[in-house]
A and B are shown apart, each in its own frame.
Chain A
Amino acid sequence: MSTPVKTAPPTPAEASNRVQVSWTTRLLGRPEIGALVAAIVIFIFFLIVAPAFRTPASFFTVLYQASTIGIVAVAVGMLMIGGEFDLSAGVLVTSAGLLNGMLCYQLGLNLWVGVIISLAFCLGVGFTNGYLVMRTGIPSFLITLGTFFVLQGANLGVTKLVTGSVSSPNISQMDGYTTLNFIFAHEFKIGPVSLSITVIWWLLFVFLSAWILQRTKIGNWIFAVGGNAASARAVGVPVTRAKIGLFMTVSFLCWFTGMHYLYRFNTLQAGNGVGNEFLYIIAAVVGGTLLTGGYGNAWGVAIGAFIFGMTSLCIVYAGWDPNWFKAFLGVMLLLAVMVNLYVKRLSTLRKVG
């Protein structure tokens, strides 16, 4: 049953009435098109109003800022295409770093040991999220809201208990620091500008996610479980495994970002990360991912994260009060949702030819 039957040689084609769809229609049908247009408009806008943005150095700073959100957003986007939410992603980043830092400092372990233990912990959290969602049928919004509060409390509680303050100890003198600093937080000097290694990691993860979503069978399954889980199950897609895998992907990239913060700043504030879960979701939605699942792509999510990085810094470059940033983010989100709704209607009702 699982092996396709051999096909006969292609039948001599009758006059093909395949319609050549115009490239404009194809382009408009892509999820990231709205975000791309928005990104270009915002980019030009800030080039005009913020002179400080016109240097290569600030462009690379924007890229760095985008990558800190963008890495987790890659996975959150995939999870949302798969029809689920993860609200615990923001604080899990901090948990990952704190666990590594405090564990190694208190027990005098090599930092590599902490990195591995932290990874196992994060994957465990992701698995628990996924397992509980699939097992109980409770919406992932609620399950991960629970995980969010548990982790937020534990971050502060455990850190206070272990260190007596709300920040983790400085780990920059410990064994393994140099290599780990290079992997997670190196800055490449290119002439006068510096490029953070996270930007390279980010692009790598975006490419990987784009490959998985568009060209592998796992990508096919992700779209299917998000678009119609019952239907996917009926044709033999392992829905539970696919969704648990998506939650674990999110927690893996949370771990990665947590490692970046730890090895960049050497110490972490236990209260960090709260609220970032929404930034990941906003990046995904602005990038054309449907909130209800089944539609979106990796490029859109990357553009969404870039818009975030650009606006958060350019408001400063333009000399405005940075407090307005959140208001701007809200407007972006509303516009994005409306564009998405319109696109979905186009793509489901569009009569080709």
Chain B
Amino acid sequence: MTDTLQEHADPTLHKGEPLVEMIDVGKAYGAIRALKGINMVVNAGEVTCVLGDNGAGKSTLIKIISGLHPHNEGTVKVDGEEVHFSSPRDSLNHGIATVYQDLAVVSLMEVWRNFFLGSEMTGSKLPLSGMKINDMKRIADEELRKMGIVVKDIDQPIGTLSGGQRQCVAIARAVYFGARVLILDEPTAALGVKQSGVVLKYTAAARDAGLGVVFITHNPHHAFLVGNHFIILKLGQAVLDKKRSEVTLDELTRQMAGGDELTELAHELESGARG
């Protein structure tokens, strides 16, 4: 299952080396401040988990790293160099690939077309030159087999695969095309237990192959299974920023569930019940 990763992961990656650094990054949409003072480091061979409730600023954070919206405060560095992404292509060229929860694939298109979308193999540089369709089908099929996904027919629309398989295809595609940093946006949110397991295993495999992974989720249990570093966002700011050794699952769960607010709520409900 990890063959793809072992073969295609960049051999120059060294575990623990910082790939992406965010220093005091913030983002405002007009008068609305979506993100403020975020410090985050994505190291090679580590999974950085970003947790938070809806509206906490998780998506804004991804959009900055993946080049959809540029940040307007602080600095973002990739491999030690300051960058300011203007498009997703820009961020892809730096080896940062984002796999979105709901828009990872184009469901009406065939599996192999999806696998190669945006990085098609063509005979020549001419715009109308034919794609190497047979090679593309063969490679897509092989790569998916290595991950334990056996599609019955590589020509079937990808919409006919299960949600977990679609996520895995998207991740495999990113790795195959040389991603060094993977951003996974709620990859397990819409999946069942078994399918989440498949995605988590693959996430761990990507980590072990030396990639830097940003895992965005609101499920602390999933995060704790694979994470090396945890950041919890609330209202656009980091309320927790700890290494795995400094934090327990209980603490993560408590913080995610509302932390101190939850304790207050418990008191209120308790007194309400008595009264």
Contact = CB atoms under 8 A, between A and B. Distances in A.
B176 to A, nearest CB: 7
A150 B221 CA distance: 59
A1 B118 CA distance: 11
Given A1-B94, A21-B153, A231 B89 contact: no
A353 B153 CA distance: 9
Contacts of A163: none
A268 to B, nearest CB: 33
B52 interface: no
Interface in B27-59: none
A228 interface: yes
Contact of B128 (A1, A10, A212, A238): A212
A335 B119 CA distance: 38
Contact of A235 (B118, B122, B142, B155): B118
Interface string B124-139: 0001111101000011
A8 B128 contact: no
Interface string A5-17: 1011011001001
B88 to A, nearest CB: 6
A344 B160 CA distance: 12
B269 interface: no
Contacts of A138: none
A1 B176 contact: no
A1 B90 CA distance: 10
Contacts of B23: none
A107 interface: no
A295 interface: yes
Interface residues of A, number: 46
Given A215-B130, A235-B118, A294-B108, A3 B178 contact: yes
A148 interface: no
B148 to A, nearest CB: 12
Contacts, number: 141
Contacts of B118: 221, 224, 232, 235-237
B196 interface: no
B224 interface: no
A29 to B, nearest CB: 9
B152 A220 contact: no
Nearest to B10: A5
Nearest to A212: B128
Given A347-B108, A352-B156, A5 B178 contact: yes
Contacts of B128: 211-212, 216, 218
B257 interface: no
Contacts of B8: 5
Contacts of A11: 3, 142, 145-146
A19 interface: yes
A326 interface: no
A45 B131 CA distance: 41
Contacts of A233: 88
A22 to B, nearest CB: 11
Contacts of B139: 7
A54 interface: no
A234 to B, nearest CB: 6
Given A4-B176, A232-B118, 9 more contacts: A1-B94, A1-B95, A5-B177, A7-B142, A18-B141, A234-B104, A235-B117, A236-B89, A350-B160
Interface of A: 1-5, 7-8, 10-11, 14, 17-19, 21, 211-212, 215-218, 220-221, 223-224, 227-228, 230-238, 290, 294-295, 344, 347-353
7 contacts: A2-B119, A10-B138, A19-B152, A215-B131, A216-B122, A221-B117, A347-B157
**The 10 nearest A-B residue pairs measured at CB:** A217-B120, A235-B118, A227-B106, A236-B118, A231-B103, A228-B106, A352-B152, A19-B152, A353-B152, A348-B159
